């Protein structure tokens, strides 16, 4: 994969632009930042074309860590080296971190009020539904791939059912999965 | 309660297996923080999750809230750094290497395994929150709201914020 698409000059993006851009992305993302990241980076700022975006996102997904944060590291790095790799994720996280800190402090102070519990009970129930829906969307992509469905099922049983520690489960599933994937290819 | 060093170590290790991002690490976070060490109750854990969901920004900020709850503002900062910096460094190194040694076939194969792995973790995380919330409230309306949310989110392309606001409203009115 070449990062630069032939026939297209990569734009120059300053550290300030990276910071401001990722600031907006971070603040827009309610219940998940990824759709907004795409909207801003590809459609609004034209920092990347759709193929480049997909490629960098894919790289971020094969590494541990939040996918959007990995994506911001790659994009920052691509345009401004290590400085960009620091500034872009910082821009994305800083404002949401302050908001979450204030909410957390309010929770520490007022968390014993019945009305707080009542509101949060509703948010938890909806939040669980949102996450399950996200998981189903992620899985839908693999609906014709028995090996992929088996991997997801193995994870649900091992981590959800048997409550095994995540590290050994990830090591075993990754190793086995990649071996099987190489043997059988795209099934 | 855990020391800052212990929190930092725990969340650094967690960050290195955090495939699929924030919500995918919920089961392991719950295992460490609630089941193994009893640092938080089920009720507090799920409420912190809800606050992170309702706030803008990446969902991983639930780890920062856990740090705040366990060790105040130093805990908030320590856990956030412990969870964000190691994967960022790994990503930086990997991307550097990738720019000169790109191998798309190899990446596609790893992606074909990590994609469903992350999906499984996210489903487990959602299921865990749903089960914990239901056992905490003991009320069928909690399950009903979760179950109703899933098809609505899949079929109606609204900003998730609206669904969260509806959930908060139903909770406020005492339905949940």
Closest in B64, B88, B124 to A160, CB measured: B124
Chain B interface test: which of A122, A158, A187 (most B C-beta within 10 Å): A122
Within 8 A of A121 by CB-CB distance, chain B residues are 133, 137, 142, 171, 176
Structure tokens that stand for B170 in this block: 């139903």
Closest residue of chain B to A83, computed from CA coordinates: B92
Q: Which residue has the higher pLDDT, A181 or A9?
A: A181
In a domain, A127, yes or no: no
Rounded CA gap, A28 and A30, in Å?
Answer: 6
To the nearest whole angstrom, how far is the Cα of B91 from the nearest Cα of chain A?
A: 6
The least confident of A6-10, B63-67, B75-79, B158-162 is A6-10
- The 3-state DSSP class for residue B49 equals helix
In a domain, A122, yes or no: no
Record: contact A163-B31, CB cut-off 8 A: yes
Within 8 A of A132 by CB-CB distance, chain B residues are 123, 126-127, 130, 146, 150
In a domain, A177, yes or no: no
pLDDT-based confidence at residue A1 (cuts at 50, 70, 90)? very low
List residues bridging with A30 in a β-sheet.
Answer: B56
Model pLDDT for residues B22-69, shown as the tens digit of each residue: 788 999 999 999 999 999 999 999 999 999 988 888 888 999 999 999
Q: Which residue has the higher pLDDT, B37 or B175?
A: B37
Structure tokens that stand for A60 in this block: 């971020």
**Which of A73, A87, A95 has its CA nearest to residue A25?**
A95
Rounded CA gap, B20 and B118, in Å?
Answer: 5
Structure tokens that stand for B86 in this block: 């190691």
Q: What pLDDT shows up at residue A157?
A: 97
Rounded CA gap, B171 and B176, in Å?
Answer: 5
To the nearest whole angstrom, how far is the Cα of B5 from the nearest Cα of chain A?
A: 20
Rounded CA gap, A171 and B173, in Å?
Answer: 46
Record: contact A139-B90, CB cut-off 8 A: no
Rounded CA gap, A108 and B71, in Å?
Answer: 12
Structural domain of A69: 1-110
Record: contact A121-B69, CB cut-off 8 A: no
ipTM: 0.91
Q: Which residue has the higher pLDDT, B10 or A35?
A: B10
- The 3-state DSSP class for residue B7 equals helix
Burial B91-120 (b: 16+ CB within 10 A, else e): bbebbeebeeeeeeeebebbbbbbbbbbbb
* Region for residue A186 given its phi and psi (left: phi exceeds 0; alpha: psi -120 to 50; beta: otherwise): beta
In a domain, A62, yes or no: yes
Domain boundaries, chain B: 4-102
Residue with tokens 């969307």: A137
Rounded CA gap, A112 and B40, in Å?
Answer: 15
Chain A interface test: which of B44, B53, B132, B161 (most A C-beta within 10 Å): B53
To the nearest whole angstrom, how far is the Cα of B69 from the nearest Cα of chain A?
A: 7
Instruction: With a cut of 60, say whether residue A7 has pLDDT above it.
Output: no
Four-residue CA torsion sign, B38, B39, B42, B43: positive
In a domain, A95, yes or no: yes
Structure tokens that stand for A74 in this block: 């790659």
In a domain, A116, yes or no: no
Instruction: With a cut of 50, say whether residue B152 has pLDDT above it.
Output: yes
Distance of CA A112 to the CA centre of its chain: 32
Model pLDDT for residues A155-164, shown as the tens digit of each residue: 999 999 999 9
Distance of CA B118 to the CA centre of its chain: 12
Rounded CA gap, B160 and B153, in Å?
Answer: 8
Structure tokens that stand for B123 in this block: 């489903």
Model pLDDT for residues A98-126, shown as the tens digit of each residue: 999 999 999 999 999 999 999 999 999 99
Q: How many domains does chain A have?
A: 1
């Amino acid at each position: 994969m070449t990062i630069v698409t032939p026939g297209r000059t990569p734009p120059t993006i300053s550290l300030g632009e990276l910071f401001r851009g990722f600031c907006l992305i971070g603040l827009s993302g309610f219940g998940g930042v990824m759709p907004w990241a795409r909207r801003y980076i590809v459609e609004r700022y034209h920092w990347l074309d759709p193929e480049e975006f997909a490629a960098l996102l894919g790289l971020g997904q094969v590494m541990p860590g939040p996918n959007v944060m990995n994506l911001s590291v790659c994009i920052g790095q691509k345009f401004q080296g290590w400085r960009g790799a620091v500034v872009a994720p910082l821009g994305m996280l800083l404002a949401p971190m302050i908001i979450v800190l204030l909410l957390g402090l309010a929770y520490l102070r007022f968390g014993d009020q019945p009305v707080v519990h009542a509101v949060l009970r509703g948010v938890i129930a909806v939040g669980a539904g949102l996450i399950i829906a996200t998981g189903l969307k992620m899985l839908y992509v693999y609906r014709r791939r028995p090996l992929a469905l088996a991997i997801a099922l193995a994870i649900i049983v091992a981590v959800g059912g048997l409550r095994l520690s995540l590290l050994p489960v990830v090591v075993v599933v990754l190793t086995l999965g990649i071996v099987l994937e190489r043997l059988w290819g795209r099934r | 309660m855990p020391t800052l060093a212990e929190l930092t170590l725990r969340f650094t290790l967690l960050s290195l297996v955090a495939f699929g991002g924030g919500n995918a690490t919920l089961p392991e976070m719950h295992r460490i923080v609630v089941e193994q060490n009893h640092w938080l109750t089920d009720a507090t854990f799920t409420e912190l999750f809800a606050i992170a969901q309702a706030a803008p920004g990446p969902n991983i900020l639930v780890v920062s809230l856990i740090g705040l709850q366990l060790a105040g503002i130093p805990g908030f900062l320590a856990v956030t750094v412990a969870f964000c910096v190691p994967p960022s460094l790994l990503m930086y190194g990997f991307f550097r290497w990738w720019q000169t040694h790109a191998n798309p076939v190899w990446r596609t194969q790893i992606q074909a395994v990590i994609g469903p792995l992350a999906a499984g973790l996210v489903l487990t995380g959602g299921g865990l929150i749903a089960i914990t919330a239901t056992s905490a409230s003991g009320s069928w309306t909690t399950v009903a709201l979760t179950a109703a949310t899933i098809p609505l989110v899949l079929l109606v392309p609204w900003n998730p914020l609206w669904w969260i606001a509806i959930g908060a409203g139903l909770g406020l009115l005492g339905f949940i």
